[in-house]
Amino acid sequence: MSMKPATTKPAFGTPDEIDARLATAQAKGLIKLKPISANLGVEVEGVDLKNKLSPEQVAHIYDALIRHKVLVFKRIGLNHEQQVRFTYELSEVSENIGAPTIGHTVFGHVDNYPEIFSVYQGEKSKPRNMARYEASATTHPWTGYHCDITACVNPPSIGMLRGEIIPEGVGNTNFGSLAAAYETLDESTKQQVATLWAEHEYKYGKTKGSEAGDSIASRRMVSHHPLVTVHPETGEKVLFNSPAFLKFVVGLSDEDSTALLHKIWEHSVKYTITHVWDEGDLVVWDERSTTHRAPTDIYSAGTERQLYRTTIVGQPLHGLDGSVSKIIEGEPMLSCEEELTSQMHVGRTGSATTGNGFGSAFPEPG
């Protein structure tokens, strides 16, 4: 594989150019941004997501998203209709993102709201493999981090979660910047990962025969993505690692692959933030440049949490030399409408808890 610079110009400009646009919008009072950390995250005020947005407002929000990677709208209290409407508005902003997809590619959706996935955690959804997960998390701090559904050749471009029932003192979500993770790698590791690819798989080993396991088995997905990707909007280089889905580095021995991945994963979790939920929060993240991890402390607290996710389709990812993600098994993620008519969801109940017990522990949801 020859090394060439990425051939496409960043669609939305360099980070400096985006900053200049955002500074102008803020000076005009069109949006207000309060940074959360040096590497990622801003609180957004001054835009009312309950009502239809103008194209200019959506453009400011998208600029803020691709620049800061995680947007937090505190206590805005959207309902299903408003979240879906905003998801569609955001999906129109760039040719590099697709339409909103179905609630969950594998687990279904909320009844009557096909774009919404219910993320419920409580005693009745406690994963059977929780003890194994917690043991892993103590020795491997990246346990549970993932970008959503990277087993798919075109993983989501944008995800968003809305907090509806929020427990006190538990249930935080972590987000990490994979652009900061790349930027801060040492030079020899940058050289090493520049042309490598990784296999991502949606796998559910231990509990075959469960509802979640059957759902995953019904839609097998395996893809190869570059280990370093180029963000289509900003041109930023991204250390695209999704521990919960990423199984091995293509072409390396098992030992070398594991050693490299552990090094990358340990490094990546240094560039993370913690979101402490309040009821009514909406958090929007750029799936192409971030990773995230769902909490697991809700189960032992004997409480419950209810979030709702919507997700926008992405494109196959581009490596540093312009090469593009490859399907090994399975179908691309489609728009909500296409997913509904594809026959890929026949037999799924779309019930509010489908998949969540599994999800909270391993790759899904938020």
Closest distance between Fe ion and the C-beta of residue 339, in Å?
Answer: 18
Q: In terms of CB distance, is 98 or 156 closer to Fe ion?
A: 156
CA proximity to 299, closest of 107, 129, 137, 148: 129
Q: In terms of CB distance, is 147 or 260 closer to Fe ion?
A: 147
Place of tokens 């559904």: 149
Q: Build a one-symbol-per-residue string for 36-75: x at contacts with Fe ion by CB under 5 A, - elsewhere.
A: ----------------------------------------
Q: Is the dihedral of CA 293, 336, 211, 353 positive or negative?
A: positive
Candidates 13-21, 142-150, 243-251, 345-353 — which segment interacts with Fe ion by CB under 5 A? 142-150
Closest distance between Fe ion and the C-beta of residue 82, in Å?
Answer: 22
Candidates 148-156, 213-221, 263-271, 312-320 — which segment interacts with Fe ion by CB under 5 A? 148-156
Near Fe ion in 331-350, by CB under 5 A: none
* Alpha-carbon span 199 to 359, nearest angstrom: 20
Number of residues interacting with Fe ion: please give it, by CB under 5 A: 3
Candidates 77-85, 144-152, 227-235, 242-250 — which segment interacts with Fe ion by CB under 5 A? 144-152
- Residue partners of 126: CB distance under 8 A and separation at least 6: 299, 357
- Strands 158-165 and 305-312, how do they pair? antiparallel
Place of tokens 């997960």: 133
Q: Which residues pair with 173 in a beta bridge?
A: 275
Q: Is the dihedral of CA 250, 189, 256, 289 positive or negative?
A: negative
Amino acid at position 125, single letter: S
Candidates 129-137, 146-154, 199-207, 252-260 — which segment interacts with Fe ion by CB under 5 A? 146-154
Q: In terms of CB distance, is 61 or 307 closer to Fe ion?
A: 307
Binds Fe ion by CB under 5 A, chosen from 89, 148, 281, 287: 148
DSSP 9: P
Binding site for Fe ion (CB under 5 A): 148, 365-366
